[in-house]
Structure 1
Amino acid sequence: MSVLEENPDSPLKKRPPRWSDIWLKKTKPLKHVVFAMQLQSLASKDPKSQTLIPHFANIDRTLLLSDELLLKILSKLPLSQRNPNSLVCKRWLYLQGRLVRSLKILDWNFLVSGRLITRFPNLAHVDLLNGCLFSPRNSGILLTHRLVSMQMRYGNCSNWELLEENLLPVEVVDGGLQALANGCPNLRRLVVINASELGLLTLAEECLTLQELELHKCNDNVLRGIAACENLQILKLVGNVDGLYCSLVSDVGLTILAQGCKRLVKLELSGCEGSFDGIKAIGQCCLMLEELTICDHRMEDGWLAALSYCENLKTLRLLSCKRIDLDPGPDEYLGFCPSLERLHLQKCQLRSKKSVRSLFRVCEAVREVVVLDCWGLDNDMFTFASVCRRVKFLSLEGCSLLTTEGLEATVLSWLDLETLVVVSCKNIKESDISPALATLFCNLKELRWRPDAKYLLSSSLMGTGMGKKGGKFFKRT
């Protein structure tokens, strides 16, 4: 008997490793083998390939990355590369669709067919305004409004008739809202037109995170559905739009809205009717309301006094209002907004001295006043702003009736004024500036003074020879 047979445990008689041992104990070499086999199979599909190494660069290495990891990489790229990246392959197209959060729908069939949810499953902001309109393609006539833009077949009818003819029925819009609610439960912002109470109720039940809603062609009945959106924070209601459509929002709807949406932070009422009662209900119920925008209102006289119930209101904006409040009532019933900081007036007609006086009295606690392209603001009107003693920021633009004297009479009474902006106010002249006003300018932190653009242009061209009716180029001999 040999020595190896006598000692079976000798290291010299170790049997060679088997494939099963590698399979059970060490899996790392096996992974390399499987990876090499996959690369070899991919390379063998090319009839011109002879070896693995020359064609290794043609293989998509991103296949080794998971969807979650590749999604994080694609999310770090700039938005300008989003469309080119989606053209790489079907997988990248799907992943880029998951990164899209905001979308404007132009084709309603894209929504109701389910392709929208499949293509963009993580949508948070959806705009359905233009998608709710029948718009014929290849039309040479384009109707453009500040709210919508659509193509039309003919131009011998009014805008209102055209919109009514091309607007989707209420039932179709509700069906689209139901499809959107079922597919996008995490929806946060929505813009829609011609919806009903039923469609908005479905949206409120499915999309509990809905925080911002913009509703066009709204009426009192529709507001019952909006009241079910308990977490709504930003709301824009568009009722009546001159030349486009007509819809009624009254005190009834505003009261329903106030009792349902108690977490509102920003509210915009455009073309809405109402009165003291509707604004009062909003002020008493919506305790978190900080910003109120009223555009082209049709409210009854006396609504201005209801603003005092908005105790936490910080910003008040009046846009394109043909009137403010012709009969605001006695001063003792007006009150004021204690937390108000900003008052913005843009493209409003300030015809009534009584209404302007009452407006500034209600807003006497403001610290920022902005007046932009408002007709009728003369020296007498602007004097009423003297009641606002805490103003730190004043911006006047397009106030052609205001003079330097009227500006000085009010500005000198504001001891806390830090910033003054005067642009395109042609009756405010530098030659009329008094020493007291000049001293105030020196103490300001910021001053933008451009009241007359023509005067600045002529002064900047002084000495160049331009502006002399061609005298520089045409000389008499």
Structure 2
Amino acid sequence: MSVLEENLDSPLKKRPPSWSDIWLKNTKPLKHVVFAMQLQSLASKDPKSQTLIAKFANIDRTLLLPDELLLKILSRLPISQRNPNSLVCKRWLNLQGRLVRSLKILDWDFLESGRLITRFPNLTNVDLLNGCLFSPRNSWILLTHRMVKMQTSSDFCSNWKLLEANLLPVEVVDRGLQALANGCPNLRRLVVINASELGLLTVAEECLTLQELELHKCNDNVLRGIAACENLQILKLVGNVDGLYSSLVSDIGLTILAQGCKRLVKLELSGCEGSFDGIKAIGQCCLMLEELTISDHRMDDGWLAALSFCENLKTLKLLSCKRIDLSPGPDEYLGFCLALERLHLQKCQLRSKKSVRALFRVCEAVREVVVQDCWGFDNDMFSYASVCRRVKFLSLEGCSLLTTEGLEAVILSWHELENLIVVSCKNIKESDISPALATLFSILKELRWRPDAKSLLASTLVGTGMGKRGGKFFKRT
């Protein structure tokens, strides 16, 4: 045997495979294409082959695609086409279910039976609020609230705790939470009502990536389960809602929460009954807290001074609060939030001048102030905002008691003001605009002026250069 033959026979000296060899190894799609071409050539020669072509046309070409590739294709289609696509066949139905990430549950049996997990195995956002309610199906009375929609019987007026009487038992809710936690370990957001400590503990142990939780009808005991969610970043607690249900969240629960959920970034307390100690515990333990929303609070007097312990707080929102703080204490105990940038007041009742003064004192570092539909917000109330010297953005909407004189007295002292929005403030009259205020308007970066339907500011201030700050004009030479 020659040396050349010896080298050819040796398995270690084989020629490396070429691209054509690798390409031709997978000949299944090629055979499919060749077969289709043969059918077309037969059709041009023999009309009897039309029957064979018709049968071939009914073959599902997508069967040649693996699930992973078909999922990528379906995921790039518009969301509006998901429902029609799921009707093509069972395979597409299952694949579309794997693409769904967010779902609102209306039928609790769908969750407990396990069909939810089978149908949608990759859920990350689940809302169980409406699913936790049972209502008479033969009733034509529909009760709507900003949280829920439900059918109710005709005697609902005699029951002032309507939602509480139509909630699923705590044991049933906990069973559903256990089934959800076992089937969706990658859950990131959850909305639930009437759960217990055990049900939330199951979610905390199984769903380690849970980042956002909205809990209705919450109490201090339930917060023990929430404290086990170490990676929680966004939390909304609803304790008491007039006419729907009642529940108690006090300083005990807020302290438990603060010691467990130390990574909170956003916190909303609605209908909670805390005080100085509870807010202080949150400020000292939740060092990453940047946004605090307090809605319809039932807190004890003196809680406002605890905000100074939230050292990294950037946004403070007060929504639908019947009072702020009737006894905030002396100024030396109030302190203020150094990092605070935004203060939003919406649908609040500003009855006490002492509490409004204390609020602006705590928030004197803000750069953005928004006041919307707040009862009692007049010139005296707004004058306390003069301590906020760094304001760049001011929005006033529905402040019917505020006048042009009161507005001017404050914003002329804000030398950094750049954006001003005045909408639906009927006592702010254009006829009362002074030259100093008109000059301020001319250097603003943004001005939206609609205090009433008859506003003609654009025409009355023609020639003042309003909105031309920083503008550059060019012309051809």
TM-score normalised by the shorter chain: which range applies? 0.7 to 0.9
For residue 452 of structure 1, what is the aligned residue in structure 2?
452
1:232 aligns to 2:232 (yes or no): yes
Q: Secondary structure at the match of 1:420?
A: strand
Q: Distance between the aligned counterparts of 1:131 and 1:222, measured in 2?
A: 19
Matched, 1:436 2:448: no
Distance 1:27 1:266 in 2: 56
Cα shift at 1:145:
1.4
3-state SS of 1:453 partner: coil
Equivalent runs, 1:156-175 vs 2, <5 Å = 156-175=156-175
Q: 1:141–1:155: 8 Å Cα contact kept in structure 2?
A: no
User: Match for residue 208 of structure 2?
Assistant: 208
Check whether the contact 1:159–1:244 (CA below 8 A) recurs between aligned residues: no
The CA deviation string for residues 58-88 of structure 1, in whole angstroms up to 9 with x for no partner, is: 2211000000000000000011111111111
- Asked if the contact 1:211/1:232 (under 8 Å) is kept, the reply is yes
Letter in 2 for 1:396: L
CA contact (8 A) 1:292 1:315 kept: yes
| Alpha-carbon shift at residue 33 of structure 1 (Å) | 6.1
From the superposition, tell whether residues 357 and 30 of structure 1 become closer, same or farther in structure 2 (CA, over 3 Å).
Answer: closer
Cα gap change, 1:49 to 1:251, in 2 (>3 Å):
farther
Give me the CA root mean square deviation: 2.2
Q: Which moved more, 1:130-139 or 1:299-308?
A: 130-139
Alignment CA distance shift 1:32-1:358 (3 Å) = closer
Aligned equivalent of 1:362: 362
Contact 1:369–1:394 (8 Å) recurs in 2: yes
Distance 1:113 1:30 in 2: 41
Question: Is the deviation greater in 156-165 or in 132-141?
Answer: 156-165
CA-to-partner distance for each residue in 1:164-188, whole Å, 9 max, x for gaps? 3321000000000000000000000
Q: Could you list the runs of 5+ residues in structure 1 that have no partner in the other structure? A: 1-25, 41-47, 461-477
Aligned ranges 1:387-426 → 2 under 5 Å: 387-426=387-426
Cross-structure match for 1:155: 155
1:341-352 → structure 2 map (5 Å cutoff):
341-352=341-352
CA contact under 8 A between 1:366 and 1:390: conserved in structure 2? Answer: yes
Q: Please give the alpha-carbon distance, in whole angstroms, between the structure 2 residues aligned to 1:185 and 1:311.
A: 34
Kept in 1, the 8 Å contact 2:162–2:243? The answer is: no
**How far, CA to CA, are the matches of 2:305 and 2:161 in structure 1?**
38
Task: Give the direction of change, closer, same or farther, for the CA distance of 1:432–1:30 in structure 2 (3 Å limit).
Answer: closer
Amino acid at match of 2:109: N
Calculate percent identity across the aligned residue pairs.
86
Aligned twin of 2:336: 336
Helix, strand or coil at the partner of 2:163:
helix
Secondary structure of 1:162's counterpart equals coil
Using the size of structure 1 for normalisation, the TM-score is 0.86
Could you tell me which amino acid in structure 2 is paired with residue 100 of structure 1?
V
Matches of 1:200 and 1:158, distance apart in 2:
33
Deviations 1:224-259 (A, max 9, x none): 000000000000000010111110000000000000
Partner of 1:145: 145
The alpha carbon displacement at 1:49 in A equals: 7.8
- Secondary structure of residue in 1 paired with 2:185: coil
CA distance in 1, matches of 2:27, 2:265: 61
Paired position in structure 1 for 2:95: 95
Match of 1:308 in 2: 308
Amino acid at match of 1:115: R
Worse overlay, 164-173 or 408-417: 164-173
- 2:62 corresponds to which residue? 62
Indicate the residue corresponding to 1:187 in structure 2.
187
Distance between the aligned counterparts of 1:33 and 1:379, measured in 2? 83
CA deviation map 1:18-44 (0-9, x unaligned) = xxxxxxxx866688669989999xxxx
The runs of 5 or more residues in structure 2 that have no matched partner are 1-23, 39-47, 461-477
- On the 8 A contact 1:39/1:52 being kept in 2, the answer is no
Tell me if structure 2 keeps the 8 A contact 1:337–1:362: yes
For the residue of structure 1 that corresponds to 2:279, the secondary structure is helix
Question: 2:162, 2:245 within 8 Å by CA — same for their partners in 1?
Answer: no
How far apart, in 2, do the equivalents of 1:58 and 1:31 lie? 17
d(CA) in 2 for partners of 1:392, 1:34: 67
Alignment CA distance shift 1:108-1:448 (3 Å):
same
1:285 match: 285
Residue 135 of structure 1: how far off its partner (Å):
2.3
2: distance between equivalents of 1:126 and 1:317?
26
Q: Who is 1:82 aligned against?
A: 82
Q: Per the alignment, in what secondary structure is the counterpart of residue 116 of structure 1?
A: helix
The residue type equivalent to 1:322 in the other structure is: K
Q: Is the 8 A contact 2:449 2:455 kept in 1?
A: no
Q: Distance in 2 between matches of 1:32 and 1:144?
A: 59
Question: How many angstroms does 1:314 deviate by?
Answer: 0.2
d(CA) in 2 for partners of 1:31, 1:176? 46
Comparing 142-151 with 319-328, greater Cα deviation is found at 142-151
Distance 1:156 1:122, change over 3 A: closer
Report the alpha carbon displacement of residue 98 of structure 1 after superposing the two structures with TM.
Answer: 0.5
Task: Note closer, same or farther for the CA distance 1:414–1:287 as it changes in structure 2 (3 Å cut).
Answer: same
